[in-house]
């Protein structure tokens, strides 16, 4: 088999059932060029290894690789392990709690253009099921509905040129929880002059949080990880919108997840207005609207708490 042009990297941890669904969807990709799938097992204790062993014995339209880490190190380290194993010129990323559209990969890589300094591309994220308020909140989220000026990509649906990503050290391996490690990689690429594109027809279906506990944990982790990223990779003048600066569509995007609490509160108010507008546009009932707004407030509090926790830890370690 000829050398793969694209490497699809999937980090996973104790998620064998959803991983099986993802692998089935990857089997149905409509993609003519040679490609490979690399599953990186972050030291799972379930049947992930047996699943991947059985999967490796089947025929697939791609080369299948299974990499198992000796200890649980977090998604950043897992993605980097896949990145080091990859042979493709382009590396695409998705997660084990996702399923991909048959045309996902074909459409996703169309956005990459090294001559135009476009190093990576993100795609559209939809919910596997839109029945819960949690799923609707994510679908209304600006991170999944980006503007033209893209500052970072979400790693459940993105691709990069492999060499530039390797040159900046890949993903942040010091952030153990999911959240922030992907933003760190994008910040480093952005500072090198690279930019990102968006392809709305590159579709991934995501299995979003289904209960309040996992929802709070997810957004706490985002706040925690993003706080570490900001204090490690950005100078104060690079964090925008600055406290007191008007929030616009242009600067709202980078500031949404990465700003300190002063700006986070202001952008949170803006987000509440945005969610209300989306509820009206989608003709949601009063009860559903109240659910969305309540979750938005819960999301913001969890994010800010995670941010402050990481900030205190960093201050303690670097007095």
Name residue, tokens 């490497």. Answer: 7
Structure token digits, residue 204: 């991934």
pLDDT at 132: 73
246 Cβ contact list (under 8 Å, min separation 6): none
Residues paired with residue 205 on neighbouring β-strands, in sequence order: 99, 126
The residue length of the chain stands at 319
pLDDT at 303: 83
Q: Report the run of H or E that residue 188 belongs to, with start and end.
A: helix 181-191
What's the half-sphere exposure (Cβ side, CA atoms, 13 Å) at 98? 25
Name residue, tokens 């969807």. Answer: 25
CA dihedral 106, 110, 115, 116 (to 10 degrees): -150
pLDDT at 148: 55
pLDDT at 253: 43
pLDDT at 288: 81
Per-residue pLDDT of the chain (319 residues; tens, 9 = 90+): 578 999 999 999 999 999 999 999 999 999 999 999 999 999 999 999 999 999 998 878 789 999 999 999 999 999 999 999 999 999 999 999 999 999 999 999 999 999 999 999 999 988 887 767 777 776 666 554 555 557 788 899 999 999 999 999 999 888 777 777 888 888 889 889 999 999 999 999 998 777 889 889 988 988 888 888 877 776 655 554 444 445 454 444 444 444 555 555 666 777 778 778 878 887 888 888 888 888 888 888 888 888 888 888 877 777 6
Among 288, 290, 226, 293, CA closest to 263: 226
pLDDT at 184: 83
14 Cβ contact list (under 8 Å, min separation 6): 44, 45, 46, 48
Q: pTM (2 decimals)?
A: 0.86
- Cβ pair 177, 303 in contact under 8 A: no
Structure token digits, residue 82: 């896949």
pLDDT at 250: 47
Cα(70)–Cα(89) distance, integer angstroms: 27
Q: Strands 90-93, 118-127: parallel, antiparallel or unpaired by DSSP? A: unpaired
Cα(181)–Cα(184) distance, integer angstroms: 5
DSSP 8-state symbol, 247: P
CA geometry: angle 297, 300, 302, nearest 5 deg = 110
- Cβ pair 292, 275 in contact under 8 A: yes
- Cβ pair 307, 227 in contact under 8 A: yes
- Cβ pair 171, 184 in contact under 8 A: yes
- Cβ pair 86, 16 in contact under 8 A: no
Cα(105)–Cα(238) distance, integer angstroms: 33
* Domains, the chain: 6-206 (3.90.550.10), 212-317 (no CATH)
């Amino acid at each position: 088999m000829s050398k793969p042009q694209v490497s699809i990297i999937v980090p996973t941890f104790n998620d064998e059932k959803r991983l099986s669904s993802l692998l089935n969807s990857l089997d149905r990709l409509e993609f003519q060029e040679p490609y490979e799938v690399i599953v990186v097992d972050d030291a799972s204790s379930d049947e992930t290894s047996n699943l991947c062993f059985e999967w490796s014995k089947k025929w697939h339209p791609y080369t299948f690789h299974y990499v198992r880490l000796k200890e649980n190190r977090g998604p950043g380290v897992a993605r980097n392990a896949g990145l080091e194993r990859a042979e493709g010129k382009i590396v695409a990323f998705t997660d084990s709690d996702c399923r991909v559209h048959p045309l996902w990969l074909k459409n996703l890589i169309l956005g990459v253009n090294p001559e135009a300094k476009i190093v990576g591309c993100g795609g559209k994220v939809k919910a596997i099921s839109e029945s819960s308020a949690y799923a609707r909140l994510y679908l209304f989220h600006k991170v999944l509905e980006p503007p033209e000026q893209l500052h970072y990509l979400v790693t459940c649906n993105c691709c990069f040129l492999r060499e530039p990503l390797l040159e900046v050290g890949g993903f942040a391996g010091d952030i153990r929880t999911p959240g922030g490690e992907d933003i760190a990689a994008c910040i480093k690429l952005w500072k090198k002059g690279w930019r990102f594109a968006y392809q709305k027809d590159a579709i991934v279906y995501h299995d979003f949080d289904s209960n309040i506990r996992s929802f709070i944990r997810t957004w706490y982790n985002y706040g925690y990880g993003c706080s570490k990223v900001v204090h490690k990779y950005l100078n104060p003048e690079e964090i925008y919108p600055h406290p007191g600066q008007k929030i616009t569509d242009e600067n709202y995007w980078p500031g949404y997840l990465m700003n300190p609490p002063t700006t986070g509160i202001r952008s949170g108010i803006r987000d509440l207005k945005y969610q209300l507008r989306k509820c009206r546009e989608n003709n949601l009932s009063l009860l559903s609207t109240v659910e969305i707004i309540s979750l938005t407030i819960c999301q913001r509090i969890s994010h800010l708490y995670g941010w402050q926790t990481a900030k205190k830890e960093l201050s303690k370690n670097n007095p």
